[in-house]
Amino acid sequence: MAVVEPTELLSLAVELVRKAAAGIAEQRAAAVTSIETKSSPTDPVTAADRAAEQLVVEGLAAARPGDLVLGEEGGFRPVGSEAAPDAVRWLLDPIDGTVNFVYGIPAYSVSLAAEVAGVVVAGVVRNVVTGEEWTAVRGEGAWRDGVRLRGSSETTLGGALVGTGFGYAPERRREQAEVLLRILPQIRDIRRIGSAALDLCAAAEGRVDAYFERGLNLWDRAAGGLIAEEAGLLVTGLRGEGPGEAMTLAAPPALHTLLDELLSPLHA
Ligand code: IPD
């Protein structure tokens, strides 16, 4: 089995994410925002999501024909005819922050991560509008445009600016609003940026002190989760669980303990 170099996977990911971001920016400039909805009437998918996913899938198929892609708009599929025994699984959100894209709010990103044997080893998130780009290779730190990231040093709940997000299903939103009612009086404030990948990068950079969200898909959190971890944050679920659909909590260690204690009873 050939050895897969995570830095090479990152280079490929960065190249494809830049191309996809350029295409998305062109579609936005041409006001191509033809919208359909997916899981609920508030969950949009645009022609730009689909075109960006196709561009990345084709690029991966050309460069690494035996690999697999889990993409938000297409589901799980082999890139080539058959998965190779040492296949990398690519985790792709072609536009994370589709609602922002539709409204022209400058906070939407392309997120692409490479997973080997069930472990995310490399990831990149690029803000399509600002061109900011966050990258990480497991064990080699998190970076934004050449600057090493180390997260926030905040240790108190009262001083913590906390990012979060909401799902698309009305019942999930009701639960999330109830959680907010309980935690908002105890923290500095909440930020709802509208792109989970950018939220995780913001936490990696210390632009928010922590981030949590229930209901994330793997493609929303794979690249940003690695970037946050490599910046020194703990990225988990609640009560020692791994990050997943039930909860993704990213915070520096001291704050993580406090947020875990605060959130766990609310998600019992
Ligand atoms: C959504 C965004 C949003 C988060 C939702 C995600 P999408 O992804 O990341 O911030 O709150 O949970 O589904 O639909 O824009 O790719």
From first to last of its 268 residues, the chain has per-residue pLDDT tens of: 567 899 999 999 999 999 999 999 998 888 766 666 666 666 667 888 899 999 999 999 999 988 999 988 775 565 556 677 778 999 999 999 999 999 999 999 999 999 999 999 999 999 999 999 999 999 999 999 999 999 999 999 999 999 999 999 999 999 999 999 999 999 999 999 999 999 999 999 999 999 999 999 999 999 999 999 999 999 999 999 999 999 999 999 999 999 999 999 997 5
Ligand 1 closest atom vs CA 164 = 11
Burial category of 137 from C-beta neighbours within 10 Å (exposed 0-12, middle 13-18, buried 19 and up): buried
Q: Of the candidates 74, 106, 88, which has an alpha carbon nearest to the alpha carbon of residue 198?
A: 106
CB 211 within 8 A of CB 170: no
Instruction: Give the Cα separation of 249 and 240 in Å (integer).
Output: 11
CB 15 within 8 A of CB 4: no
Q: Of the candidates 140, 263, 150, which has an alpha carbon nearest to the alpha carbon of residue 211?
A: 263
- Residue of the CA atom closest to atom 13 of ligand 1: 167
Instruction: Give the Cα separation of 47 and 214 in Å (integer).
Output: 27
Q: What is the pLDDT of residue 77?
A: 65
Which residues does a 6 A CB cutoff place in the pocket of ligand 1? 72, 93, 96-98, 165-167, 194-196, 213, 215-216, 220
Q: What is the pLDDT of residue 120?
A: 98
Instruction: Give the Cα separation of 215 and 222 in Å (integer).
Output: 14
Ligand 1 closest atom vs CA 95 = 16
Ligand 1 closest atom vs CA 101 = 15
- Beta strand pairing status for 89-96 and 109-116? antiparallel
Burial category of 200 from C-beta neighbours within 10 Å (exposed 0-12, middle 13-18, buried 19 and up): buried
How many angstroms does the Cα of residue 127 sit away from the middle of ligand 1? 14
- Residue of the CA atom closest to atom 11 of ligand 1: 165
Q: What is the pLDDT of residue 40?
A: 63
Determine the residue of 110, 211, 213, 220 to mutate for testing ligand 1's pocket, defined as the one with the most ligand atoms within 8 A of the Cβ atom: 220
CB 125 within 8 A of CB 16: no
pTM as predicted: 0.94
